[in-house]
């Protein structure tokens, strides 16, 4: 197994955490970096295999053209739509300032 | 000539004219009551799955065909991942590597008046986000924001042009033509002021001798093609001045401010743009067979360029009138319906572009709702042609038809507008006028031809203006020979 | 004892009026009251609702209006399956108090068939785990040995069925989450073909791998439940339009003439010899019953586990993006919306969930997509081709271990994700290939159950039931106190 430190850096973890909208304490981040590195090293197994010209599989079933007709159905009542809202105001979901 | 070359590309988002959303059966129609047109699927509740609206696919294909695109036989959907409070699932379902339509074009006129093909790179299907309402005057001054998901998952097509335009004029023409084509194809409502058609501009300047493109600036918040035109002109000037001073253009998004007529850099929290597109596992692929595409093509109505050409060539209208008529799908529709019933094309065009347009403007009425039936218009045109009603009376009749919705025959009868073309009645009236005006009659006979006008006027006066003036002139001339 | 009875036995007793649904439901609720504090199978138990559903079932039966074989029979659901009006948490703090306004299709079908819901079962948070230890709420213990894990992620469901705290349970299986706990807890576990049961209303972990599964006391019970909930659902574009078979009948079909393969790649050094021994005994038993058993090879098996984790985590990173504190679930206080997103997610998700989101986000991020995600989709093709070839060669099913080990001790692997992931080595290829698989308990070894896995061709659940029934022995029972 190659050196865990080389495969993913603390900066990488920081960048990915930003993308994922997650925050870690410095201790958590260090632990996360070490564990991700060991998992990613294991995943290097995949680099051993030659997949030239192998098509990708995104769906295992031979399904295609699954549609619904353009016909209206029932909506949730506004009360039901907002029932789980952490905060609401006059029929809207309320969120803190954007900027 | 400016020492810079301007390069412009446009991106459009058009809401498709479906009854329901792209992945659920909630209605798409506008509601001013927030969060009343949602269900677990478009709210992105845990566990829900999308099911594709077939009609949305067909409308996207229709748009592509109308814009001269190639249609991809194999279609897949992808997820575009980013966080924003208007985005219920934390990703938008869109098409990334395989858009439904590619390689189209619209023809515009360049500065020299020559035809120029502006290429369309791609059209893809995607879902709209919800709407955010901010508590303050702007997003930056707000203490909180409010989310309404009525619009979430309304089907959209995104249309991306190539950077083939080099002036505000070309961009405006491209935009207006695109809007018209989508309207004719009945793909979208294309109302920019209501947001069913949105346009963003990408613009860069480069010195004439430079090969590669300059730094691109994106302009958003454009609510009309007039705004597109003004924003491009403003931005061209801003960038030109910066380049002249040796300053560097920053790649950024700027917002058009209608009131000040300027663009302003958009304030936003810095976020990495790494959308992590990947194939949407919840939606199987869509295969568009040649037969299906042909069926959709067959459903396309006559498009603006073809219609303009036909009005000119086949119906003999002027190029200007043809373009004016085609510029409004509602006017063009009424024109075609009426033209099927009467051959008075020129008068019809004059009425539609003159009186009827004026009446619509005065009434502040939408062109979609012209309160005139083709058969009534055709009837009135035929009455004028046969001489049963004179032109001036016809305009009064038209106005009353427009306002009251009454049948033209009823209005003509009520006003007694029917024109007198009865030869024996008019012969008597002419004889009476000659008898009562011996001097002008003698003058005419003596060669003062202008005396005839006075005598015609007298006959018209006697008949309260209803006499057919052409017949009166003929009868007078004959009687005085 | 009522709670001892299989679904089939309970149905016959209810039909014969020897028993009412009310009596059965009360018996289960009494047993839950006594044993649940030790086992910890449930996140929530809804006595009132269960009793009302039981009463309604009894009055239907009195009028001769039985809705289905499942009418009046008490069940439980993994807390990942949405239940209208009943909290559904995915064992996560981020969904604490979340009450869905709609029913998952699989639950709706059970409800319309008269099913009596006892409660919602514990699980690994968002189904990410193989021991149920990542639940934000509680620990579930293996009914055969309370110091051991029940497996996961559907550990609560497996423990509930093993300890007779529900007659059957629905779980979900993304990489073995129904089968491995079935093996650990000595119950039958079915992971049907991808698309066989609607996923609508089942909170996704990895959409292209997830499938609803059934945990039951015997093969016939699983067959009865599958008959009820299988089928195309207009709300799930990936559900398949193949009519369900008569699975209950299939349990009685002979195995004579069936061809069974034993893939050698599944019998590596990591597999506990006791499990291999059981597999060999099963081979002998099937041969004796007239089946042909041959060694086969699935050459790409070694790539399945890394491919699975890339794919599952990638999809999960996107599936779990909706938990942002805006519309439902936990919201942390913050100055602005971006900080609110980050704080809510950081407080709401547990470490294992965060780790998998990180892994998936990384695999999809620019610069790594081709090396990880796209490559995985290509490897998936190769794995699927391995199986296609086997079934094209006339094999009806494959016989394999379920996991390398028997149930392990609570806490043993908790700080070592990679060792925990290795638990799934025998189960994930099935999800990558979208195949059905059935786990049947075959023996107790050192007081803990061993199950074996049968892998079928797409929509070949009937063959699995036939062979599974042939392997099935007397039910394995944990040593728990009787509750009167």
Interface of C with A in 386-445 (CB under 8 A): 417-418, 421, 432-434
> Inter-chain contact A68–B283, Cβ cutoff 8 Å?
no
Sign of the alpha-carbon dihedral angle for B70, B76, B77, B81: negative
**Could you write out the DSSP letters of every residue in B169-204?**
HHHHHHHHHHHHHHHHTTS----TTTTSEEEEEEEE
pLDDT top residue among C364 and B441: C364
Across the interface, which of C238, C310, C341 has its CB nearest the CB of A21? C341
Instruction: Please list the helix, strand and coil fractions of chain A in percent, rounded to the nearest 5, in that order.
Output: 45, 10, 45
The residue count of chain B comes to: 481
Same domain? B152 vs B172 = yes
Rounded to whole angstroms, the Cα distance separating A61 from A63 reads 5
Instruction: Find the mean pLDDT for residues B16-43.
Output: 96
How far apart are the CA of A46 and the nearest CA of chain C, in angstroms?
Answer: 6
Tell me which chain A residue has its CA closest to the CA of residue B133: A92
For an interface test with C, the pick among A87, A96, A97, A99 (most C C-beta atoms closer than 10 Å) comes out as A96
Quick check: helix, strand or coil at residue C171? strand
A55 close to C (CB below 8 A): yes
Question: Active-site residue among C20, C69, C157, C177?
Answer: C177
Q: How high does pLDDT run on average in chain B? A: 90
Name the neighbours of A, counting chains with at least 3 Cβ pairs within 8 A: B, C
Could you confirm whether C177 is annotated as catalytic? yes
Residues of A in contact with B52 (CB under 8 A): 66-68
Q: How high is the pLDDT of residue A2? A: 44
> Tens digit of pLDDT for each residue in B37-54?
999 999 999 999 999 999
Summary count for chain B: helices (H), strands (E): 16, 17
- All residues at 6 or more sequence positions from B39 whose CB lies less than 8 Å from its CB, including other chains: A73, A74, A75, A76, B24, B25, B26
- Per-residue pLDDT at B299 exceeds 80: yes
Same domain? B329 vs B427 = no
Instruction: Find the mean pLDDT for residues B306-311.
Output: 94
> Inter-chain contact B148–A92, Cβ cutoff 8 Å?
yes
CATH of the domain at C180: 3.90.1300.10
> Inter-chain contact A78–B34, Cβ cutoff 8 Å?
yes
Same domain? B282 vs B351 = no
Query: Predicted confidence band at B451 (pLDDT cuts at 50, 70, 90)?
Result: confident
Highest-confidence segment of B396-410, B449-463, C316-330: C316-330
How far apart are the CA of A17 and the nearest CA of chain B, in angstroms?
Answer: 11
Interface of A with C in 56-95 (CB under 8 A): 56-61, 63, 66, 68, 76, 80-81, 83-87, 93, 95
Could you confirm whether C63 is annotated as catalytic? no
> Tens digit of pLDDT for each residue in B140-153?
788 999 999 999 99
- Looking at the structure of chain C, the number of domains it has is 1
Same domain? B350 vs B267 = no
> Inter-chain contact C321–B40, Cβ cutoff 8 Å?
no
| Extended strands (E) in C318-446 | 397-401, 437-445
What residues in chain A have their Cβ under 8 A from chain B's Cβ atoms?
A: 15, 18-19, 21, 56, 58-59, 61, 63-76, 78, 81-82, 89-99
Residues of C in contact with A51 (CB under 8 A): 375, 378-379, 382
B453 close to C (CB below 8 A): no
Q: How high is the pLDDT of residue B271? A: 57
Q: How high is the pLDDT of residue C40? A: 98
Rounded to whole angstroms, the Cα distance separating C71 from C466 reads 25
Rounded to whole angstroms, the Cα distance separating B350 from B368 reads 19
B105, B67 contact by CB (below 8 A): yes
> Inter-chain contact B46–C95, Cβ cutoff 8 Å?
yes
Instruction: Find the mean pLDDT for residues B228-248.
Output: 94
> Tens digit of pLDDT for each residue in C146-182?
999 999 999 999 999 999 999 999 999 999 999 999 9
Tell me which chain A residue has its CA closest to the CA of residue C355: A32
Q: Return the minimum-mean-pLDDT range out of B279-283, B321-325, C142-146, C329-333.
A: B321-325
> Inter-chain contact A75–B37, Cβ cutoff 8 Å?
yes
Q: Looking at the domain assignment, is residue B297 inside a domain?
A: no
Nearest to C297 by CA among C262, C257, C336, C332: C262
Rounded to whole angstroms, the Cα distance separating C7 from C74 reads 9
Interface of B with C in 128-157 (CB under 8 A): 145, 147
Q: How high is the pLDDT of residue B31? A: 87
- Per-residue pLDDT at C16 exceeds 80: yes
pLDDT top residue among B413 and B275: B275
How far apart are the CA of A36 and the nearest CA of chain C, in angstroms?
Answer: 7
Which element (helix H / strand E) includes C383? helix C375-392
Across the interface, which of C240, C358, C418 has its CB nearest the CB of A17? C358
Across the interface, which of B43, B44, B52 has its CB nearest the CB of C237? B52
Across the interface, which of C328, C331, C379 has its CB nearest the CB of A46? C379
Query: Predicted confidence band at B1 (pLDDT cuts at 50, 70, 90)?
Result: low
- Per-residue pLDDT at B332 exceeds 60: yes
Q: Return the minimum-mean-pLDDT range out of B26-30, B166-170, B367-371.
A: B367-371
Q: Looking at the domain assignment, is residue C378 inside a domain?
A: no
Q: Return the minimum-mean-pLDDT range out of A17-21, B262-266, B360-364, C458-462.
A: B360-364
Same domain? B243 vs B126 = yes
Same domain? B458 vs B408 = no
- Looking at the structure of chain B, the number of domains it has is 3
Question: What is the span of the domain harbouring residue B396?
Answer: 302-415
How far apart are the CA of B145 and the nearest CA of chain A, in angstroms?
Answer: 5
- Under CATH, which architecture does the A4-47 domain have? Orthogonal Bundle (1.10)
Question: Active-site residue among C69, C131, C135, C153?
Answer: C153
A7 close to C (CB below 8 A): no
Q: How high does pLDDT run on average in chain C? A: 96
Q: Enumerate the β-bridge partners of residue B262.
A: B257
Domain boundaries, chain A: 4-47
Instruction: Find the mean pLDDT for residues C304-328.
Output: 97
Give the domain-ending residue among B415, B447, B469. Answer: B415
How far apart are the CA of A57 and the nearest CA of chain B, in angstroms?
Answer: 10
B414, B397 contact by CB (below 8 A): no
Same domain? B314 vs B182 = no
Quick check: helix, strand or coil at residue C451? strand
Q: Looking at the domain assignment, is residue B462 inside a domain?
A: yes
Rounded to whole angstroms, the Cα distance separating C133 from C351 reads 11
Strands C168-173 and C74-78: parallel
Residues of C in contact with A76 (CB under 8 A): 101
> Tens digit of pLDDT for each residue in B125-140?
999 999 999 988 877 7
Q: Looking at the domain assignment, is residue C328 inside a domain?
A: no
Same domain? B213 vs B341 = no
> Inter-chain contact A97–C335, Cβ cutoff 8 Å?
yes
Rounded to whole angstroms, the Cα distance separating C195 from C371 reads 29
For an interface test with C, the pick among B268, B276, B277 (most C C-beta atoms closer than 10 Å) comes out as B276
Residues of A in contact with C345 (CB under 8 A): 20-22
How far apart are the CA of B329 and the nearest CA of chain A, in angstroms?
Answer: 25
> Inter-chain contact A67–B57, Cβ cutoff 8 Å?
yes
> Tens digit of pLDDT for each residue in C26-65?
999 999 999 999 999 999 999 999 999 999 999 999 999 9
pLDDT top residue among B399 and C408: C408
- Per-residue pLDDT at A4 exceeds 70: no
Q: Return the minimum-mean-pLDDT range out of B107-111, B402-406, C478-482.
A: B402-406
Q: Looking at the domain assignment, is residue C183 inside a domain?
A: yes
Interface of C with B in 154-213 (CB under 8 A): 199-204, 206-208
Q: Looking at the domain assignment, is residue C13 inside a domain?
A: yes
> Inter-chain contact B45–C204, Cβ cutoff 8 Å?
no
> Inter-chain contact C324–B274, Cβ cutoff 8 Å?
no
Q: How high is the pLDDT of residue A1? A: 40
Instruction: Produce one character per residue of C36-65: b if its CB has 16 or more CB atoms within 10 Å, e if not.
Output: beebbbbbbbbeebbbebbbbbbebbeeee
How far apart are the CA of C259 and the nearest CA of chain B, in angstroms?
Answer: 33
Residues of C in contact with B83 (CB under 8 A): 321, 324, 338, 341
Question: Active-site residue among C21, C78, C135, C198?
Answer: C78
> Inter-chain contact C342–A84, Cβ cutoff 8 Å?
no
> Tens digit of pLDDT for each residue in C85-118?
999 999 999 999 999 999 999 999 999 999 999 9
Query: Predicted confidence band at B21 (pLDDT cuts at 50, 70, 90)?
Result: very high
Residues of C in contact with A16 (CB under 8 A): 358, 361-362, 365
CATH of the domain at B456: 1.10.10.410
Instruction: Find the mean pLDDT for residues C373-385.
Output: 97
B19, B28 contact by CB (below 8 A): yes
Q: In the A/C pair of chains, how many CB contacts fall below 8 A?
A: 159
Rounded to whole angstroms, the Cα distance separating B328 from B333 reads 8
Q: Looking at the domain assignment, is residue B296 inside a domain?
A: no
In terms of Cβ atoms closer than 10 Å to its own Cβ (0-12, 13-18, 19+), residue B466 is middle
> Inter-chain contact C326–A93, Cβ cutoff 8 Å?
yes
Strands C437-445 and C188-191: antiparallel
> Tens digit of pLDDT for each residue in C219-249?
999 999 999 999 999 999 999 988 878 999 9
How far apart are the CA of C215 and the nearest CA of chain A, in angstroms?
Answer: 24
Tell me which chain B residue has its CA closest to the CA of residue A73: B25
Across the interface, which of A36, A84, A97 has its CB nearest the CB of C99? A84
How far apart are the CA of B396 and the nearest CA of chain A, in angstroms?
Answer: 45
- B451-462 and B438-445 helices, crossing angle to 10°: 140
Question: What is the span of the domain harbouring residue C190?
Answer: 2-251+432-471
Strands C42-45 and B74-75: unpaired
Give the domain-ending residue among B363, B386, B415. Answer: B415
């Amino acid at each position: 197994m190659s050196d865990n430190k080389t495969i993913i850096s603390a900066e990488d973890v920081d960048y990915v955490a930003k993308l994922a909208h997650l925050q870690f304490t410095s201790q958590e981040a260090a632990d996360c970096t070490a564990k991700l590195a060991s998992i990613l090293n294991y995943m290097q197994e995949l680099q051993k295999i030659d997949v030239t010209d192998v098509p990708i599989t995104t769906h295992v079933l031979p399904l295609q053209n699954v549609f619904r007709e353009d016909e209206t159905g029932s909506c949730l009542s506004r009360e039901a739509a907002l029932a789980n809202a952490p905060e609401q105001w006059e029929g809207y979901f309320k969120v803190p300032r954007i900027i | 000539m400016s020492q810079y070359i301007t390069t412009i590309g446009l991106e459009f988002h058009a809401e498709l004219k479906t009854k329901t959303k792209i992945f659920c059966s909630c209605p798409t129609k506008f509601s001013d009551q927030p969060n009343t047109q949602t269900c677990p699927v478009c709210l992105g509740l845990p566990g829900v799955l999308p099911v594709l609206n077939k009609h949305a696919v067909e409308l996207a294909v229709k748009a592509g065909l109308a814009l001269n695109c190639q249609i991809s036989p194999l279609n897949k959907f992808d997820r575009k991942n980013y966080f924003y409070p208007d985005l219920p699932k934390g990703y938008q379902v869109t098409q990334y590597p395989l858009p439904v339509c590619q390689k189209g074009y619209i023809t515009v006129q360049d500065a020299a008046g020559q035809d120029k093909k502006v290429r369309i790179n791609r059209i893809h299907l995607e879902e709209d986000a919800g709407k955010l309402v901010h508590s303050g005057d702007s997003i930056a001054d707000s203490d909180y924001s409010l989310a309404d998901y009525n619009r979430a998952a309304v089907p959209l097509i995104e249309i991306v042009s190539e950077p083939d335009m080099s002036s505000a004029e070309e961009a405006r023409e491209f935009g207006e033509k695109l809007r018209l084509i989508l309207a004719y194809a009945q793909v979208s409502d294309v109302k920019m002021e209501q947001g069913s058609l949105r346009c963003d501009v990408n613009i860069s300047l480069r010195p004439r001798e430079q090969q590669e493109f300059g730094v691109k600036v994106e302009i958003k918040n454009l609510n009309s093609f007039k705004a597109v035109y003004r924003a491009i002109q403003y931005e061209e000037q801003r960038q030109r001045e910066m380049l002249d001073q040796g300053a560097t253009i920053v790649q950024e998004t700027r917002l058009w401010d209608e009131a000040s007529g300027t663009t302003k850099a958009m304030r936003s929290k810095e976020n990495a743009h790494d959308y992590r597109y990947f194939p949407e596992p919840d939606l199987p692929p869509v295969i568009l067979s040649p037969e299906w595409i042909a069926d959709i093509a067959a459903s396309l109505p006559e498009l603006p360029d073809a219609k303009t050409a036909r009005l000119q060539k086949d119906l003999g209208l002027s190029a200007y009138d043809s373009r004016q008529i085609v510029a409004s799908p509602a006017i063009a529709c009424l024109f075609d319906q009426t033209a099927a019933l009467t051959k008075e094309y020129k008068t019809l065009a004059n009425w539609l572009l003159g009186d009827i347009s004026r009446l619509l403007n005065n009434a502040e009425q939408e062109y979609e709702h012209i309160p005139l039936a083709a058969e009534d218009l055709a009837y009135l045109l035929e009455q004028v042609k046969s001489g049963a009603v004179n032109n001036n009376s016809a305009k009064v009749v038209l106005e009353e038809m427009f306002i009251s919705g009454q049948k033209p025959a009823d209005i003509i009868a009520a006003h007694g507008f029917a024109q007198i073309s009865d030869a024996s009645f008019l012969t008597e009236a002419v004889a009476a006028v000659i008898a009562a005006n011996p001097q002008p009659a003698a003058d005419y006979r003596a060669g003062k031809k202008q005396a005839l006008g006075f005598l015609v006027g007298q006959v018209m006066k006697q008949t309260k203006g209803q006499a057919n003036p052409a017949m009166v002139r003929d009868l007078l001339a004959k009687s005085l020979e | 004892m009522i709670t001892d009875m299989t679904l089939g036995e309970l149905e016959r007793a209810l039909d014969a009026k020897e028993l009412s649904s009310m009596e059965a439901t009360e018996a289960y609720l009494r047993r839950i009251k006594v044993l649940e504090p030790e086992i910890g199978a449930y996140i929530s138990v809804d006595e009132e609702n269960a009793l009302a559903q039981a009463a309604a079932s009894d009055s239907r039966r009195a009028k001769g209006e039985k809705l289905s074989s499942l009418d009046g029979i008490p069940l439980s659901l993994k807390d990942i399956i949405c239940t209208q009006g009943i909290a559904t948490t995915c064992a996560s703090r981020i969904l604490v108090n979340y009450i869905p306004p709609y029913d998952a299709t699989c639950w709706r079908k059970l409800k319309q068939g008269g099913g009596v819901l006892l409660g919602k079962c514990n699980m690994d948070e968002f189904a990410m785990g193989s021991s149920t230890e990542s639940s934000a709420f509680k620990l579930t213990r293996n009914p055969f040995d309370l110091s051991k894990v029940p497996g996961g992620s559907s550990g609560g469901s497996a423990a509930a069925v093993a300890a007779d705290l529900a007659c059957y349970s629905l779980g979900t299986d993304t990489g073995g989450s129904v089968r491995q706990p079935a093996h650990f807890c000595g119950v039958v576990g079915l992971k049907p073909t991808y698309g066989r049961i609607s996923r609508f209303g089942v909170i996704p972990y990895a959409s292209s791998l997830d499938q609803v599964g059934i945990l039951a006391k015997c093969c016939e019970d699983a067959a009865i439940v599958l008959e009820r909930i299988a089928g195309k659902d207009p709300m799930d574009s990936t559900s398949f339009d193949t009519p369900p078979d008569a699975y209950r009948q299939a349990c009685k079909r002979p195995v004579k003439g069936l061809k069974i393969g034993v893939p050698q790649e599944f019998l590596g050094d990591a597999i506990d010899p006791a499990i291999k021994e059981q597999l060999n005994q099963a081979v002998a038993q099937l041969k004796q019953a007239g089946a042909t058993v041959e060694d086969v090879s699935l050459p790409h098996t070694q790539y399945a586990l890394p491919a699975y984790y890339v794919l599952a985590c990638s999809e999960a990173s996107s599936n779990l993006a909706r938990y942002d504190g805006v519309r439902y679930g936990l919201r942390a206080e913050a100055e602005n919306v971006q900080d609110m997103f980050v704080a809510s997610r950081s407080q709401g998700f547990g470490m294992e969930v965060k780790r998998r989101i990180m892994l998936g986000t990384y695999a999809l991020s620019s610069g790594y997509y081709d090396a990880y995600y796209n490559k995985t989709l290509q490897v998936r093709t190769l794995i699927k081709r391995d199986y296609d070839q086997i079934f094209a060669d006339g094999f009806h099913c494959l016989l394999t271990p379920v996991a390398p080990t028997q149930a392990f001790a609570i806490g043993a692997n908790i700080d070592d994700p990679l060792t925990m992931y290795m638990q799934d080595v025998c189960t994930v290829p099935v999800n990558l290939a979208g195949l059905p698989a059935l786990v049947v308990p075959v023996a107790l070894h050192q007081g803990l159950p061993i199950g074996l896995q049968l892998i079928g061709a797409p929509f070949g659940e009937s063959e699995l039931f036939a062979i599974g029934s042939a392997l099935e022995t007397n039910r394995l029972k944990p040593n728990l106190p009787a509750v009167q």
